[in-house]
Structure 1
Amino acid sequence: IYFADTAHLPYGDKEDHYIRSRVLRIGGRLVDAGCGVIVVACNTATVAAVAAFREHFPDLAVVGVEPGVKPAAALTRSGRIAVLATESTARSERLADLIRQHAGSVQVHVAACPGWATRVETLQLDDPHFAAEARQHLTPLLDSGVDQIVLGCTHYTFLAPVLQPIIDRRAALVDVADAVARQCVRLAGMEARGGGGLTLLATAQPERLQAALPALGLGWLRHRLRSAARLIVA
């Protein structure tokens, strides 16, 4: 099951208490649907709500998605890394904790990127105005010697084709998506065979979610799609 809270996005400009409320309500519905492993596939939701989520559902296997500060700090050669994140994640105490715990010996630049997640949601991936905006964000970081750039929002994975040509060979993009997938497979006791079906649920316009798969490079999932439906979570 892939659930998208499309009626209440983006989360990146929301207050923590609002995000926690949404995550707990959604989690309850997914537990009722029989989910035994839940991935909170949003950095903003993870930093704001995953602790409360685990406390509320102590018997549930929960995988959070946090910015890859630890691997970036381990990989840097220049001693400078950057984290691209939503406004909420950028100002969060959890991100500050991650930096203190795992990147105390390196210089960390945290860059809030308002509107980037919305561009993915609205499939504005090839907009030349965004490429110019991204260059404005990235050039000062690269010029300062940053050699590891953390994609601190799950939406930003889909922006990598725009970001990579700007970065070129000056830095590497750090994305924890593969590590999260491996952890999910391990907790579920599954073998990574690539089988299974897909159910799409959304609080608004599930048909848009289904139609977005090819544009996001996920067209190969369409033959596994069982259903796409609206699920109201008040």
Structure 2
Amino acid sequence: MINKQAIGIFDSGIGGLSVAKAINTLLPNEALIYVADTHYAPYGDKTDTFIYQRMRVITEQLIAFGAKALVVACNTATTAAIDALRKEFSLPIIGVEPGVKPAVQVSESKIVGVLATPRTLLNPAFATLAQRFAAQASILLQPCPLLVPMLEKMQVDAQSLEPVLKHYLAPLIEQGADTLVLGCTHYNFLAEQIASIASTLAGKEINIIRTEMAVAKQLQHRLQHAEILNTALLANANIKLYSSGDLALFQRQVQHFWQTEATVLAL
């Protein structure tokens, strides 16, 4: 089947690039349009109403670009307003949420740490998610307010990151967590560093749960169900990257985090 319409993906910044990369790996025949709403980042200090307004504007733009499905590649936006977005727009809309369920399943100590932005952890939707598994495991919450700003500013050298990561990880390891959930798409870019530091602190291997490939598989399922999955090789299956913020900075972010020279465009 040939369906040349693109998949729209957006985040408040560059975290969703990790999801876009997973989608591109799983579904290489699909054209992708990625939007980083960096002019309004971070979403964590915005109201649900404001976040929904931005989600609505970006969704309308992606539909105008010809998107056949939408991936909200941002935990904060998903918990804040994805239900409202689905009520207003009829195209398939996939969100992201912390992988608490798989974490509980693999944890031997049944002590699971969740790394996320303060806003995600305070949202009632996340509280409901955590409560669903509270009887099966101890869910430890660790807000990480510094990580997203550091990644957005490209402060990714070990000297900058290591003390911050140790500060966030040590309390979880001390309480016996053997499994850590990356509850923000930005953190996927730090998975190796988090695993290394956490395992060193614990003196044993620590499980790291990331969900970008699970999101890609859910998207694949939804596209198949709607009969809009492209199964034909497209000669020009392309990736377009847009930002509402500093294009020069976004270009550097894309080159670093996705290792691609794709041209970035102003939204």
> Is the shorter-chain TM-score for this pair beyond 0.5, marking a shared fold?
yes
Q: 1:210-221 counterparts in 2 under 5 A? A: 210-216=251-257, 218-219=258-259, 221=260
1:100 correspondence with 2:131 = yes
Report the equivalent of 2:176: 145
Report the equivalent of 1:202: 243
Report the equivalent of 1:90: 121
Report the equivalent of 2:21: none
1:55 correspondence with 2:87 = yes
Report the equivalent of 1:10: 42
Q: Give the TM-score of the pair, scaled to structure 2.
A: 0.79
1:181 is matched by which residue type in structure 2?
Answer: A
Give how far 1:193 is off: 7.3
Q: Which runs of 4+ in 1 moved over 4 A?
A: 191-195
1:190 correspondence with 2:235 = no
2:130 is matched by which residue type in structure 1?
Answer: I
3-state SS of 2:119 partner: helix
CA distance, structure 1, for counterparts of residue 44 and residue 175 of structure 2? 26
CA distance, structure 1, for counterparts of residue 148 and residue 74 of structure 2? 11
1:167 correspondence with 2:198 = yes
Greater mean deviation of Cα atoms: 15-24 or 185-194? 185-194
Give how far 1:23 is off: 1.0
Quick one: percent identity of the two aligned structures?
A: 34
CA distance, structure 1, for counterparts of residue 163 and residue 86 of structure 2? 40
CA distance, structure 1, for counterparts of residue 238 and residue 97 of structure 2? 26
3-state SS of 1:111 partner: strand
CA distance, structure 1, for counterparts of residue 221 and residue 251 of structure 2? 27
Q: Give the TM-score of the pair, scaled to structure 1.
A: 0.89
Higher relative contact order (CA 8 A, sep 6+): 2
- After superposition, the Cα gap between the structure-2 partners of 1:183 and 1:211, relative to the gap in structure 1 and judged at 3 Å, is same
Structure 1 unaligned runs (5+)? none
1:24 correspondence with 2:56 = yes
